[in-house]
Amino acid sequence: MQKAILFGCWCIIEGICAVSSAQIPCFPGAEGFGTDTVHARGKQVFHVTRLDDEDKLQKLHYLKPGQLRYALAQAAEAGGGYIVFDVAGSIKLHRMAEIPSHTYVAGQTAPGSGIAIEGGALWIGTWKQDPAVYTAHDVVVRHVRYRGRAKAGSDAFNIIGVGTKNVVLDHVSVSFFQDGAADIVDGATDVTLQWCHFGDAADSGTDERYHGQPNLITKDANRVSIHHNLYTHTHSRTPWATSFFRIEDFQIEFSNNLVYDYRKYPSGFDAPKGIGNVVGNLYVPGSFSHADQGGPRPVIVGDNGFRIYLRDNLALSGTGHNNKGSDGQSFRGNDQHTQRGSPGEIVGTRQTSEEAESALMGKGPTTGPIRGVFETHDERFSSIPIVSYTPVKKNLNQVATYFGALPRDNTDKRVLRELSTRSGGWKLEIPDDKNVYAGDVRPDADLDGIDDRWEAKKGGDLNPHGHELDPNYENMEVYLNDLAQSLVADCVPVDLQNAEFFKVTAKPSSKPLDVRPFFLGFLGLGAVFLVFGYKYIYSLWQARASFLAKIYHS
């Protein structure tokens, strides 16, 4: 009886701990759908010690120990794991790599200037034969850079598959991708993208050469949070929740993002009867943005009965380009992706908080909400997890200061310069930013993934899965959080909140039609008729009278 009581108490305690563990954020500062993921908690630690890769299946017997692909294969066989980097540099993947369930890819563990990925995409989803789908759940990726050079039309990150859920990308930098930067497709749910950079795409290698479209959300993907991200030099899809859905309960948070140098209609929400909170976003046109033709365009477009809660968003003015050649004809086909016309002005649809927020939204070139098609909602949708909102102008500085994988490489430094000066543009060729990733290996004699020096400061050797340092987080998590917070603390504050950046441009006049010219014209025609028309009619009357007189006397 006593054993039964003790066993029951143990079960209750374990249940309480499990609930508590599942409800805390996966790391401090994680906010949004899926951020209560348990990721690799309780799993083994796997080390990346080399930068080479094999163009082979992701199976241990094909690969070399220490490769990233080998570490991911180890995690897949072990039911997940922490992936730590004992080397800095750029890993050139020969094909796409699969990140399995319960995996935490800790880019912040890379020494010195960090880790980058080139070539093959990173798929969050592993292939399952029965049913035949990609799927992975409880995945965290932090402080990883993707630097392109993939096969034609390739994504950088692909979050894919029914059953793929509880995925967090934090402080990830993506440049030179060829299709999507981080697409969420085929039933993936509960995904958060935060404090990332998505943009600066390169030649897609397809017939649509510039296809820089960062976030496609489609085919029954659902429950997505995208906040505090920087987008630069994009075509569109920042994001695009498309109409290819069988569900009617799509939910999204798109807030506190900075979108610079978009093409025409940056953000789109078409999921049937979907809902979204759209708060504190800043849209800034650049040299590759289409100039106004026929009036300002909305920056947030929607359809299929989508409803959004709009608050504190701005769309600024700037100089873009006209989509016409010297012959006056619009660029079409591939030319519209590679050619620019003469400079043209773009008037922001909401440059100050005094203007109507609904001017930001519309369908196609039509601005404003459309009943039954794309509507506003008066209150924040409470079913969507809260994120910490920052006033839009203040958020410009926050995102500029903290975006992307840290410490910043030369590519992200260039991106920041282009944003600060409102310069730069689409890049069909990958520029040589002269990135160097180097640093001294962290001492880790027992290979537990934790720097020996850090452990010494905390009192000595620690069990990675122990809770001596925090009741909610494993010692391994506390270490990873500490590394990430140190990277953020080392950021140099950026201040772009100045009058020039937020310069207001007068909108085209919308005065009532002036009928005075038409009235004066009518009077003028009347005067002409009186002078010349009277004589003409009088001569006709005389001719008629003469004709009748002849008939009468004949």
Instruction: Provide the 3-class DSSP secondary structure of residue 44.
Output: strand
Mean pLDDT in residue range 390-408 = 97
Q: How far apart are the first and last CA of the chain?
A: 142
* pLDDT given for residue 249 in this prediction: 93
Q: Mind listing the pLDDT tens digit for each residue in 65-96?
A: 999 999 999 999 999 999 999 999 999 999 99
CB 85 within 8 A of CB 48: yes
Helix (H, G, I), strand (E, B) or coil at 55: coil
Average pLDDT over residues 102-125: 96
Using a 10 angstrom Cβ sphere, with 0-12 exposed, 13-18 middle and 19 or more buried, the burial of residue 23 is: exposed
- Inform me whether the pLDDT recorded for 261 exceeds 90: yes
Q: What are phi and psi of 188, to 5 degrees?
A: -65, 140
Assign 1 a pLDDT band (cuts: 50, 70, 90): very low
Q: Inform me whether the pLDDT recorded for 357 exceeds 90.
A: yes
Average per-residue pLDDT for the chain? 87
What is the tens place of the pLDDT at every residue in 438-451?
999 999 999 999 99
Asked whether residue 520 is domain-assigned, the answer is no
| pLDDT confidence of residue 294 | 66
How much is the pLDDT for 132? 65
pLDDT at 528 over 50: no
Reported confidence tier of residue 367, pLDDT bands at 50, 70, 90:
confident
pTM listed for this prediction: 0.87
At 291, the pLDDT band (50, 70, 90 cuts) reads confident
Q: What is the average per-residue pLDDT within 354-383?
A: 93
Q: Is 299 domain-assigned?
A: yes
Residue 410 contacts by C-beta under 8 Å, 6 or more apart in sequence? Answer: 433, 434, 435, 436
Question: Considering the domain boundaries, does residue 360 fall inside one?
Answer: yes
Domain count along the chain: 1
CATH of the domain at 372: 2.160.20.10
- Residue 390: the pLDDT is 97
Residue 443 resides in a domain? no
pLDDT at 7 over 90: no
Per-residue confidence band for 536, with pLDDT thresholds at 50, 70 and 90: low
Residue 373 to residues 248, 306, 307, 308, 421, Cα–Cα distance (Å): 14, 7, 9, 11, 38
DSSP secondary structure letter of residue 530: I
Residue 23 lies in a domain: no
Is the Cβ–Cβ distance between 60 and 74 less than 8 Å? yes
- Mean pLDDT across the stretch 160-188? 93
Does any domain span residue 481?
A: no
Range of the domain at 176: 45-421
Residue 364 resides in a domain: yes
Mean pLDDT on 469-489: 98
d(CA 282, CA 550): 87
Is residue 487 in some structural domain?
no
Give the residue-averaged pLDDT of 89-104. Answer: 97
User: If DSSP codes are grouped into helix, strand and coil, which group holds residue 122?
Assistant: strand
Lowest-confidence segment of 63-72, 314-323, 377-386 by average pLDDT: 314-323
Ranking 89-103, 483-497, 500-514 by mean pLDDT, the lowest is 500-514
Residue 532 has pLDDT above 70, yes or no: no
